[in-house]
Amino acid sequence: MYNMYSIRYGVQHQLFEREDVDVWSILKEIEAFDLPSILNKLPIDAGIKHVFEDLLSYRSQGNKLVESESFKEKITSQRKSAERGGRSMNSNIYLLESKFYQDFSFCNDNYIICDNNRFSQTLYHNVIIGILNSHVTPAVKSGKYFQNTRIEKLTKEHLLLLLFHISSKELLEIMRQYDIKNLTLGQDACKYLIRLIENSSHIIKQSNDGSYKIINEELFRKVVQNIMIIVNRIDSEMPEIYNIYPTVNYLLSIQYFWSFDNELSTLVYKYKPGIDDAILLLNHLIFRSYRQNTIHQAIFNLSLILKEYGKEMEDIHSIEDIPEKNNYFFVGSFFSVLTIHVQREIIAYFKQSIHGLYTLLVLYENYRIPILEEDLLRKALKTPDFSDDTYVNKEVFSCSVLRRVRKNDKYQSLHSLIDDFAVRNECLQFFLNPIEFEKIDKIEPVWVCYCEDWIIQNLLENRVIKEKVKEYITNDTLGKREFDHMWKLL
**Cα(392)–Cα(450) distance, rounded to whole angstroms?**
12
DSSP-assigned letter for residue 167: -
Task: Evaluate whether residue 100 is within a structural domain.
Answer: no
Residue 314 · residue 292 · CB < 8 Å? no
DSSP track, 291-329 = --GGGHHHHHHHHHHHHHTT---TT--SGGGSTTTT-HH
Task: Evaluate whether residue 53 is within a structural domain.
Answer: yes
Task: Evaluate whether residue 325 is within a structural domain.
Answer: yes
Residue 260 has what pLDDT? 84
DSSP-assigned letter for residue 335: G
Element (H, E) at 142: strand 141-142
**Cα(206)–Cα(200) distance, rounded to whole angstroms?**
10
Q: What does the angle CA 306 – CA 311 – CA 315 come to, to the nearest 5 degrees?
A: 100
Q: What does the angle CA 98 – CA 101 – CA 105 come to, to the nearest 5 degrees?
A: 145
Instruction: pLDDT band for 479, please (50, 70, 90 cuts).
Output: very low
State which of 330, 352, 374 marks the end of a domain.
352
Residue 145 has what pLDDT? 61
Instruction: pLDDT band for 352, please (50, 70, 90 cuts).
Output: very high
Q: What does the angle CA 150 – CA 155 – CA 157 come to, to the nearest 5 degrees?
A: 110
Query: What does the pLDDT average to over 477-487?
Result: 58
Residue 126 has what pLDDT? 96
Q: What is the pLDDT of residues 367-381, one digit of tens each?
A: 999 999 999 999 999
pLDDT at residue 146 above 80? no
Q: Which of 76-90, 143-157, 255-269 has the highest mean pLDDT?
A: 76-90
Structural domain of 52: 2-57
pLDDT at residue 247 above 90? yes
DSSP-assigned letter for residue 272: P
Task: Evaluate whether residue 442 is within a structural domain.
Answer: no
Of the listed ranges 147-161, 262-276, 284-298, 416-430, the least confidently predicted one is: 284-298
Residue 391 has what pLDDT? 65
Q: Which residues lie below 8 Å from residue 246, measured CB to CB, with a gap of 6+? A: 201, 204, 205, 277
State which of 301, 330, 352 marks the end of a domain.
352
Residue 484 · residue 470 · CB < 8 Å? no
Residue 96 has what pLDDT? 95
**Nearest 5°: phi and psi at 146?**
-85, 125
**Cα(220)–Cα(246) distance, rounded to whole angstroms?**
14
Instruction: pLDDT band for 142, please (50, 70, 90 cuts).
Output: low
Q: What is the pLDDT of residues 103-123, one digit of tens each?
A: 889 889 999 998 888 999 999
Query: What does the pLDDT average to over 303-328?
Result: 93
Task: Evaluate whether residue 426 is within a structural domain.
Answer: no
**Cα(80)–Cα(88) distance, rounded to whole angstroms?**
11
DSSP track, 390-407 = SS--HHHHHHHHHHHHHT
Proportion of the chain above pLDDT 90, given as a percent = 71
Cα–Cα separations (whole angstroms), residue 457 to 81, 447, 452: 30, 13, 9
Residue 397 · residue 428 · CB < 8 Å? no
Q: What is the pLDDT of residues 464-474, one digit of tens each?
A: 999 998 888 88
pLDDT at residue 169 above 80? yes
Task: Evaluate whether residue 160 is within a structural domain.
Answer: no
**Cα(354)–Cα(358) distance, rounded to whole angstroms?**
10
Residue 314 · residue 339 · CB < 8 Å? no
Instruction: pLDDT band for 16, please (50, 70, 90 cuts).
Output: confident
Q: Considering all CA atoms of the chain, what is the largest pairwise distance in Å, rounded to the nearest integer?
A: 94
Instruction: pLDDT band for 330, please (50, 70, 90 cuts).
Output: very high
DSSP track, 412-445 = HHHHHHHHHHHHT-HHHHHHHSTTT---GGG--H
Task: Evaluate whether residue 219 is within a structural domain.
Answer: no
pTM confidence score:
0.87
Q: How many separate domains does the chain show?
A: 2
Residue 6 · residue 113 · CB < 8 Å? yes
Paired with 141 in beta bridges are 147
Proportion of the chain above pLDDT 70, given as a percent = 94
Task: Evaluate whether residue 320 is within a structural domain.
Answer: yes
Instruction: pLDDT band for 235, please (50, 70, 90 cuts).
Output: confident
Residue 100 · residue 127 · CB < 8 Å? yes
Query: What does the pLDDT average to over 287-297?
Result: 77
Name which of 246, 234, 313, 295 is nearest 270 in CA terms.
Answer: 234
Query: What does pLDDT average to over the chain?
Result: 90
Query: What does the pLDDT average to over 159-185?
Result: 95
Instruction: pLDDT band for 148, please (50, 70, 90 cuts).
Output: confident
**Cα(199)–Cα(360) distance, rounded to whole angstroms?**
46
Instruction: pLDDT band for 280, please (50, 70, 90 cuts).
Output: very high
Query: What does the pLDDT average to over 6-19?
Result: 86
Q: What is the pLDDT of residues 41-86, one digit of tens each?
A: 999 999 999 999 999 998 988 999 999 999 999 999 999 999 888 8
Q: 265, exposed or middle or buried, with CB in 10 Å at 0-12, 13-18, 19+?
A: buried
Instruction: pLDDT band for 441, please (50, 70, 90 cuts).
Output: very high
State which of 57, 84, 101 marks the end of a domain.
57
Residue 217 has what pLDDT? 85
Query: What does the pLDDT average to over 480-485?
Result: 59
